[in-house]
Structure 1
Amino acid sequence: MPRVTDTRPPAEPSSEGQKARYQRIIEVASELGSQHDFDSLQMQDVATGAEVAIATLYRYFPSKVHLLVAVMRAQVDRVDRARVSPKEGQSPAEAASELLIGLTVHMHSQRRLSLSGIQAMIFAESLENPDRERIKVAFSDIILRLANWNTDPTDDQRRRAWLLTQCWFGVLMQVLNGSRSRPMADADIRRACELLLSGG
């Protein structure tokens, strides 16, 4: 297990210069994370690639776990900002299937980075990690929006969105570790969307 004993909260960038450095770190970590697995990814290499001092890197990301979870959050935020919604004539289940299958394809194409990010998410369960919490909230919000449940959703609708997220995550893990074929995974995702997003 990686060292995550430093539980101080990560600093938030405020100035434009800080935000630019933060974004550069995320981009370099994504690139290096696509080339190295979790254990071999080195914080010093990320700092060097992003042209920041190692102290600056640790200021924003107290551990490799924090860094990789932030990379995952950046990807989820891009999806959230796109404000995806059902196309004309498309049911919520079809819209959610299209999105989740597309994400599966994308994450499988960056298998090493995806596995490292998921590993970091698991390790982050023992931390107070705002990025991890943001990922959970954003993903639920995306599913609720695709189901047209984003206006005052009921507890049951929130539960369904959470269950679909958990189901997709499980299928994704099977695809990434090679124990589930892509066609089977696609069918699994479509069926889960049909079961959980039908009705109100």
Structure 2
Amino acid sequence: MTDMPGYKQARRSQIVAAAQALLKAQDYDHIQMRDVADAADVALGTLYRYFSSKEHVYAAVLMDWAQPVFAPAVADTGPAERRVREKVRGIIATFERRPGFFKVCMLLQNTADANAAALMEDFAAIALRALSADFASLGDQESADTAIMLWGIVNTMLSGALLHGKPIADAYRVVDAFVDLVAPRLSPG
């Protein structure tokens, strides 16, 4: 996207913002590409010049929406255990506030659209990088493996809570238990 001229970046951002607003207001299954075009005040053909499908639009929405959650902490030198616990609790709380976004995230994990799939791979990579940074004291491979395990737990627990009606408190409890297991091996800073 950074190789686009500024006006195209602005138009793309306008489309993503409009699609995000629609998802906040209604279920993904009820949103049509025409709705996104209308909300963004662009022609349907223009929308398709930027995005190959509805899945592609909403993969971009997820990337944009999640940036604050996965952004690196600003020079946080506190204990790794606290950093990872707060980060994971923040991820859960963010999806708890917007369960429709989690549903889209789950739906897009198996998208056939190559553009959406690439964005979803980036989304997962950013999430894993953000988590593994707090496990850095475990070494490169083990921090990456631990982040993958934690991301799997978060996804499983959120699926149970947001898609299948299990208590959200279970998600917080299980991720805290995982952090408790790993915490003794994390460096204090």
Identify unmatched segments of 5+ residues in structure 2: none
Mapping of 1:30-109 within 5 angstroms? Answer: 30-81=20-71, 83-84=72-73, 87=76, 89-90=78-79, 92-109=80-97
Which protein has the bigger helix share? 2
Are 1:29 and 2:19 matched, yes or no? yes
Task: Give the letter for the 1:190 counterpart.
Answer: D
Change (3 A) 1:141 1:198: farther
Aligned equivalents of 2:98 and 2:63: distance in 1? 15
Identify unmatched segments of 5+ residues in structure 1: 1-10
Change (3 A) 1:172 1:18: same
- Structure 1 vs Structure 2 CA RMSD: 2.5
CA shift, 1:154, in A, is 2.4
What number of residue pairs does the alignment pair up?
185
TM-score (structure 2 length as normaliser)? 0.84
Taking only the aligned residue pairs, the percentage that are identical comes to 21
Task: Give the letter for the 1:168 counterpart.
Answer: V
CA shift, 1:199, in A, is 2.0
Equivalent residue, structure 1, for 2:101: 113
TM-score (structure 1 length as normaliser)? 0.80
2:165 aligns with one of 179, 191, 199: 179
Contact 2:108/2:120, CA 8 A, preserved across alignment: no
Post-superposition Cα deviations, 1:24-56, rounded to whole Å, max 9, x if no partner, equal 111111111122222211111111111122122
CA shift, 1:137, in A, is 1.3
Change (3 A) 1:67 1:44: same
Task: Give the letter for the 2:32 counterpart.
Answer: Q
